[in-house]
Structure formats: C-alpha cells, structure tokens
Amino acid sequence: MARHIYVHNPFCARKCPYCDFYSISKTSLCENFYKAAVREAELLGSVISEQDGTNPLTDACGRDTVYFGGGTPSLPDSRLVCGLLTAVRKAFNIASDAEITIEVNPSSSDPGKLTEYLQAGFNRISLGVQSLDDEVLRTLGRLHDSKGAVDAIEKISKAGFTNISADLITGVPGETLDGIRKDIQTFKDLGVKHISTYSLSIEEGTPFFERYKKTIEDLVPPEEERAMYHGTREFLNELGYETYEISNSALPGFKSIHNSSYWNSCEYFAIGAGAHGYLGDMRYGHRDDVEAYIEEMNTITADAYKAFLEGNKSGLKSLYAEEMLGREDKMREVAFLRLRTTDGILLDEFKKVFGIEFDDVFEKAVKTNIAKGLLERKERTLRLTRSGLDLANVVIEDFL
C-alpha cells in the first residue's frame, strides 16, 4: 500500500502577477503555521487506519510520496520545514524508499537550507525556474534572474541532490521557441532530470488578467502557442526526456511518482492551509486561510478529525469537503485524468476496477473523438493523438 501526502506551504516572499495559487507574504505566521501543521500530521497519523490512503488502482500508486508544494516552501526557516517533514514521516510511517519532494524557488535556494533538506529526507527538488531569459522573467515578475536560476541548479547538485526537476512557462509574451530550446539544453547540461512545461494561463483575479485579458491572443496567437508546445515537446524528446503527461517529461527513471499518483486517481492526504486531498469518496481541502487553519489545528480533537474524514463536516473552519464522488464521478475522473497521460486509459484496468467496459460507459465520446482523429486506440489503451493533444481540453470535456 502506498501513501501520498501533499503539504501546502502558503507563504511567498511576494505575489507573482500571474499566480492564483493560495499564498501570502505574512511570514510572521510561519512559526505558528508549522506548529499547527505538525499537529495536523500527528492527528492524522493517530486517526487513519491501515486501509486509508489506498485506492482501487493500488498497483498504479507506486511508492510512498511526500510533496511539499506552495507557495514557496524554501522561504521559511528550514528548521520549521524539516521539523514538519520529520513529523510527517513518523506519523504516516513513510517508507525509506519514498519519493520526497520540495519545491524550491531560485531566490531562496540557500546552500545551508539545501543540505538540511537532504539530511531531513527530501530526495527530490522541484525548482521554479520558469525561464532562463531575463526579459521573460521580468515580464513574469519573478524575483530571480537567469543567472540566479542556473546558480540554484548548481547549488542543488552540489548539495547532493540527483533528482532535480525544473519548471518552465511557455506562451509568455516575448518568449520564442528558440529561447525555450536553449533553456532546455541548459537544463540537460546541468543534470536536470525532469522538466515541467506549463502554458501561461491568464487567471481571473490576477494582475495578469487585467494586463492581458484583451491582448494575450494578439501577443501570443493560439497557433503560435501550440507550435511552441509541439516544438518544446519534440526537443525534449530529442534530448531523451520522455513526455509522460501533457506538461511533464523526464529522463528514464525520473517520472514524478507523486504527480503520477494524481493521474492514477490514488488517494492522498492534505496538510496545510490551501492544501487539497482525496480520501475514500471525498475530495476535500483546507480553506485558503492561514489563521483559520492555525486555530483549527490547535483546537480540533482526534475524534473530530476522524469524524470529518468519515463524512461529518459540521462546525469546521478550515477543513471542508469539496465533492463527494459516486461511482460515475470516479469513472469520469479516470477518463479525464488518464487522458492527460501519454499511456492513456488502460482499458483492462478500468474494467477490473469498475466491472464494466470503458467503451460501454463513454461510447459516444470515444466514437466521436476517434472519428475526428483526436483519440486513438492501441490494443487495450485509448489515448490522445497529436491533434488530440492540441485540443485536450475539448476532448476531455466530452467525457465529463
């Protein structure tokens, strides 16, 4: 049985203008937040049973994983972050071969912190580079420049990490495919094993929405953005990075086990304000409110936490149920999560879990998208074609 835990650090030095993740810059709350998170890990550890944290697709869930995301987990004092990891490992009895990731920002990649992360058990770093072009980084409002990002990768390697991932954002006004290719080549030369490439999305409520809501398609026409996506993917593949999900590519042996657990519908626990989890039939989360989180974790009893996980949601400030999933919801989730992966939907596995053929449930969506050339059947798998990848959201919509 594999366990997966997502920990959300809700602090950032400053808000990037395109970001709609939950984060605040009031770092005076860090100390109390981390204490509360340790208590949450201990409470969870005391109330979960051996069965919790597994799922119908058990074989697909691989090894235990812990993922510290954010926000900027590398911002707070490493004593707090490492203390929380120690509590999580103990409370969940995390296996010694677990994949344990921390997201690091180049502007807070201090060598001393990196060494402490390694000693505490982190064995994978996900670095938020976004670009190695200073002009693009300025547009994105990032705190680091390209030299800072390259230095950060070198420091991470020097500290002893071998499993390093870097994020890139594509479709930023002023960005070119040539520039992205250069960035990827630099990553390869520096020993980066995993690359995530996300298309810039203009989210309502962000400063970017105000700045670009009317102009983004003039600045980066959709066909140019798609050509950039394909060009990026082809170059990654040429360099040996295998694309295993729409936004993720890795050298052999370095796929993210934690992220794969999401696409395999594995269950995972959520720790921290703004964290989301999935357990049994429930998708749940903590509200985007650090103060409510601290208060709740300092006062909630083990019985009340257990009752929440079992479906009693009354009277809680931070924890809330987002969605209760029935059998059909779960089938739809398998469809839209697995379609994001290059392995696609494994038809035998679907039949084994749900006792029915995928085609019998989604007959119309399958037939229509195969006829349009967006979906292809290879033996007992169904996956997006190259054109399907361009229209992934439209295809997925047909399965919802």
Q: Out of 128, 179, 272, 285, point to the residue binding ligand SF4 (CB under 6 A).
A: 128
Q: Out of 71, 73, 272, 344, point to the residue binding ligand SF4 (CB under 6 A).
A: 71
**The sheet that has 99-104: what strands, in order across it?**
242-245, 248-250, 194-199, 164-170, 124-130, 99-104, 65-70, 4-9, 269-271
To the nearest whole angstrom, how small is the minimum distance from the Cβ of residue 68 to ligand SF4?
12
Rank residues 72 and 243 by Cβ distance to ligand SF4 and give the closer one.
72
- Amino acid identity at 46: S
Q: Out of 70, 76, 274, 277, point to the residue binding ligand SF4 (CB under 6 A).
A: 70
**Helix%, strand%, coil% for the chain, nearest 5:** 45, 20, 35
Q: Which residues, numbered 94-113, are part of the site for ligand SF4 (CB under 6 A)?
A: 105
Q: Out of 9, 65, 72, 264, point to the residue binding ligand SF4 (CB under 6 A).
A: 72
How many Å apart are CA 80 and CA 354, to the nearest integer? 43
| Cα–Cα distance list, 81 to 43, 74, 120 (Å) | 18, 8, 9
Residue 171 binds to ligand SF4 (criterion: CB under 6 A) = no
**The sheet that has 375-378: what strands, in order across it?**
345-346, 381-384, 375-378
Please name the residue that has the structure tokens 């938020």: 128
Rank residues 128 and 171 by Cβ distance to ligand SF4 and give the closer one.
128
Residues 6+ apart with CB under 8 A from 238: none
Rank residues 131 and 341 by Cβ distance to ligand SF4 and give the closer one.
131
To the nearest whole angstrom, how small is the minimum distance from the Cβ of residue 103 to ligand SF4?
8
Signed CA dihedral, 12, 16, 22, 24: sign only? positive
To the nearest whole angstrom, how small is the minimum distance from the Cβ of residue 260 to ligand SF4?
22
How many Å apart are CA 100 and CA 69, to the nearest integer? 11
To the nearest whole angstrom, how small is the minimum distance from the Cβ of residue 91 to ligand SF4?
26
To the nearest whole angstrom, how small is the minimum distance from the Cβ of residue 149 to ligand SF4?
13
Rank residues 75 and 346 by Cβ distance to ligand SF4 and give the closer one.
75
Q: For residue 166, what is the enclosing H or E element?
A: strand 164-170
To the nearest whole angstrom, how small is the minimum distance from the Cβ of residue 26 to ligand SF4?
13
Rank residues 210 and 238 by Cβ distance to ligand SF4 and give the closer one.
210
To the nearest whole angstrom, how small is the minimum distance from the Cβ of residue 368 to ligand SF4?
37
To the nearest whole angstrom, how small is the minimum distance from the Cβ of residue 25 to ligand SF4?
9
DSSP-assigned beta bridge partners for residue 315: none
Check: CB of residue 274 under 8 Å from CB of residue 261: no
Rank residues 75 and 266 by Cβ distance to ligand SF4 and give the closer one.
75
Q: Which residues, numbered 3-42, are part of the site for ligand SF4 (CB under 6 A)?
A: 12, 15-16, 19, 21, 23
Number of residues in contact with ligand SF4, rule: CB under 6 A?
11
Residues 6+ apart with CB under 8 A from 359: 347, 366
Rank residues 21 and 354 by Cβ distance to ligand SF4 and give the closer one.
21
Rank residues 136 and 282 by Cβ distance to ligand SF4 and give the closer one.
136
Q: Concatenate the DSSP letters of all residues of 197-225 into one string.
A: EEE----TTSHHHHHHTTTHHHHS-HHHH
Which of helix, strand or coil describes residue 250? strand
In the complex, the residues that contact ligand SF4 under the rule CB under 6 A are 12, 15-16, 19, 21, 23, 70-72, 105, 128
